[in-house]
Amino acid sequence: MAKGALKSRDILLVTPPYHAGVVESAGSWLPLGLLYVAGALQRAGYGAQLYDAMTKFHTLDQVRETLRRERPGAVFVSCITATVLDGIEVCRAAKEEDPRVLTVLGNTHPSFMFQEILVGHPCVDFIVRGEGEETAVDLLSALEAGADPARIPGLAYRAEGRIALTPARPFLRDLDSLEPAWGLVPWKEYSYRPKPGSTLAVVSSSRGCKSHCSFCSQRLFWEESWRGVSAGRFVAQLEHLRDRYGVNVAMLADEIPSLERERWERILDLCVERRLGMTLLLETRVDDILRDAALLPRYREAGIEHIYVGVESVNQATLDLFKKDAQVEQGRRAIELINGSDIISETSFVMGMPEETPEDMERTIALAKHYDPDMAFFLAITPWPYADLYPKVKDHIVTTDYRKYNLVEPVIKPDAMTLDEVRAMLFKGFKEFYTDKMRRFPAMPAWKQAFMHSLMKLLLEHSYLREQMGNLGHPGGPPRLPVVPRENRT
């Protein structure tokens, strides 16, 4: 590669054109990981452009047209398991448009399944394993200089007819030094649908997870480590997004933002002291909510309106198999605490394990209603091919089409059920839960009633559930939602 060739052409950072009808029902979510890589590339002197084909709802043909028009020097694609096949197609299209273009995959699935990808798909040149900021810059610099990429940690690639694997790159120590390329974001494309007219950012106050969940990709990706951005740095970033780009809703992408109590309490205090005035959405652990029971009013004061906690199961044996390190009763209590703090509570229940029966699933649905979160999702257990759970369920897996590994499509067949029966029970869970939830509307605070009214409308109109829930509350006809007084719709 000629010296300076890559610096003279933009690096295109791409999300695959994939949809499962899950998260896009609530909003459009910017690809934060790619923005961090773009920021590192810009600081190293490379031109970078973000192409969020997923949010744009582009087809592969439109991706190809964009590649033809932009003619990038390199294409970096971020993939999870469900999106990896479409990510590979992006690389294939890039090579067909320009065989000289450098194609690179990264994120969780490629980090673990690099051999499968590189053996079967010559259109992929390199895979970045683990954190991508330093590896991406080092890779481009080495290729421009004609240096051997074998000296760069965190890579997998083909060399002399075999798969070459370089040593793992140590995790970045100083997260405060990172800055996403916020200037690349077309902010008008990112909003949180329950708040019409909002501008939504995805942010990160930490990286990592110290949990041991056997089904999860994140604790493997981060090797059960955890690092936090300093409280001052994180809140200053939120202020910058608010003042410079008009962001008024931010979702924390962290696995466990509240893990380190002192830092987390300082973040809450700063949000209050500086009058951040931003709606915050986050995910955390059940045990951290229990730990912070007395602190939850401060959560609300800081702007936290929505908390997801992973209850996952109402069966203790299943929780133990999942290595959740939690008791069933703790999940119910955490939801109760969140509800009592005037915060939207959300959780998920995973169904479809090999030993489950229809009666087990009925019990899960009944207890989900008893737990009474504001939002509940009934998800199909999904066997990431690199997770600890995989060997225990692999004999029950009925498809290797990764596009179906999206928590919506059942890919594991229980001994006592067909896939269609599992699918029907998942939809039954949604329908029964939200029918029951509609009956509870009058007991909710006015602002929650407005939120739930908006949520129900989104589920009925924009999610993969729209056909299954189309008659919710009104058999034989269009849905009837509770009437929310006009003054409560803000």
Query: How many CB atoms within 10 Å of residue 317?
Result: 11
**Edge to edge, what strands does the sheet with 162-165 contain?**
48-52, 11-15, 74-78, 102-106, 126-128, 155-159, 162-165
Share of the chain above pLDDT 70, in %: 86
pLDDT at position 477 over 50: no
The CATH architecture that domain 11-165 belongs to is: 3-Layer(aba) Sandwich (3.40)
If 0-12 CB within 10 Å is exposed, 13-18 middle and 19+ buried, where does residue 394 land? exposed
**Residue 218 vs residue 241, higher pLDDT:** 241
Residues comprising the chain, all counted = 490
Start-to-end CA distance of the chain, whole Å, equals: 56
Residue 383 pLDDT: 87
Give residue-wise pLDDT tens across range 258-281: 999 999 999 999 999 999 999 999
Give the class (CATH, top level) of 180-488: alpha beta
Q: Which amino acid is at 69?
A: R
Pair of tokens at residue 27: 């909003």
Beta bridge partners of 228: 206
Sign (positive or negative) of CA dihedral 392, 397, 400, 403: negative
Overall average pLDDT of the 16-30 stretch: 77
From residue 128, alpha-carbon distances to 259, 305, 367, 479 in Å are 28, 36, 42, 47
Sheet hosting strand 344-351, strand order edge to edge: 200-203, 249-252, 279-284, 304-309, 344-351, 375-380
Confidence of residue 459 (pLDDT cuts 50, 70, 90): confident
Lowest mean pLDDT among 249-253, 336-340, 447-451: 447-451
Tokens 């929310």 sit at which residue? Answer: 484
Average pLDDT over residues 134-139: 97
Residue 285 has which token pair?
């652990």
The pLDDT value recorded for residue 331 is 84
In this predicted structure, the answer to whether residue 210 has a pLDDT above a threshold of 80 is no
CA dist 36 and 43 (Å) reads 11
Q: Is 171 left (phi over 0), alpha (psi -120 to 50) or beta?
A: beta
pTM of the model as a whole: 0.90
pLDDT value of position 244: 98
Q: How far is it, in rounded angstroms, from Cα 240 to Cα 131?
A: 24
Give the pLDDT confidence of 40-51 residue by residue, as tens digits.
Answer: 999 999 999 999
User: Which residue would you say has higher pLDDT here, 378 or 25?
Assistant: 378
Find the mean pLDDT for residues 111-138.
Answer: 96
3-state DSSP of the chain: CCCCCCCCCCEEEEECCCCCCCHHHCECCCCHHHHHHHHHHHHCCCCEEEEECCCCCCCHHHHHHHHHHHCCCEEEEECCCCCHHHHHHHHHHHHHHCCCCEEEEECHHHHHCHHHHHHHCCCCCEEECCCCHHHHHHHHHHHHHCCCHHHCCCEEEEECCEEEECCCCCCCCCHHHCCCCHHHCCHHHCCECCCCCCCEEEECCEEECCCCCCCCCHHHHCCCCEEECCHHHHHHHHHHHHHHHCCCEEEECCCCCCCCHHHHHHHHHHHHHCCCCCEEEEEECHHHHHHCHHHHHHHHHCCEEEEEECCECCCHHHHHHCCCCCCHHHHHHHHHHHHHCCCEEEEEEEECCCCCCHHHHHHHHHHHHHHCCCEEEEEECCCCCCCCCHHHHHHHECCCCHHHCCCCCCCECCCCCCHHHHHHHHHHHHHHHHHHHHHCHHHCCHHHHHHHHHHHHHHHHHCCCCCCCCCCCCCCCCCCCCCCCHHHCC
Domain boundaries, the chain: 11-165, 180-488
- Distances from the Cα of 341 to the Cα of 292, 297, 374, angstroms: 11, 6, 13
Name the pairing type of β-strands 155-159 and 162-165.
Answer: antiparallel
Candidate from 21-30, 98-107, 218-227, 403-412 with smallest mean pLDDT: 21-30
The encoded tokens of residue 267 equal: 């973040």
